[in-house]
Amino acid sequence: MMKQAVLITTYQNINHLFELADFFSDGNYYLYINIDKKSKVNQSDIDALKAKDNVALVSRKYVINWGGFHLTRAILYLVEEALKNNEIEYIHLLSGSDFPIKKSSEIKE
């Protein structure tokens, strides 16, 4: 079965991140997430996110400033990690503020 990676860069609104994880929880997606290193997201929320079956990676590797090069580095790091999984055939990029306008089944197709 074809798997897809969803790369997410975010810095706030952990509740929305959980909503995204739930949206992509049908077994076709792996989530690779970078949370801005300077964000105030607490470790218990990060641990709960990591415990979700479809979350492959939660990183706090980079301090990201809007328009800064570390955003590009974070995205490239997430791509590199996703490509380690041979099941991945497609990669999608979202920010932590995005929410898809199509159903996950439509995105899968």
Write out the chain's pLDDT in tens, 109 residues.
689 999 999 888 889 999 999 999 999 999 999 999 998 888 999 999 999 999 999 998 888 887 889 999 999 999 999 999 999 999 999 998 899 999 888 888 8
C-alpha to C-alpha distance for 74 and 62, rounded to whole angstroms: 6
Nearest Cα neighbor of 29 from 10, 48, 57, 9 is 57
> Does the reported pTM lie above 0.85?
yes
Beta pairing partners, 5: 30, 91
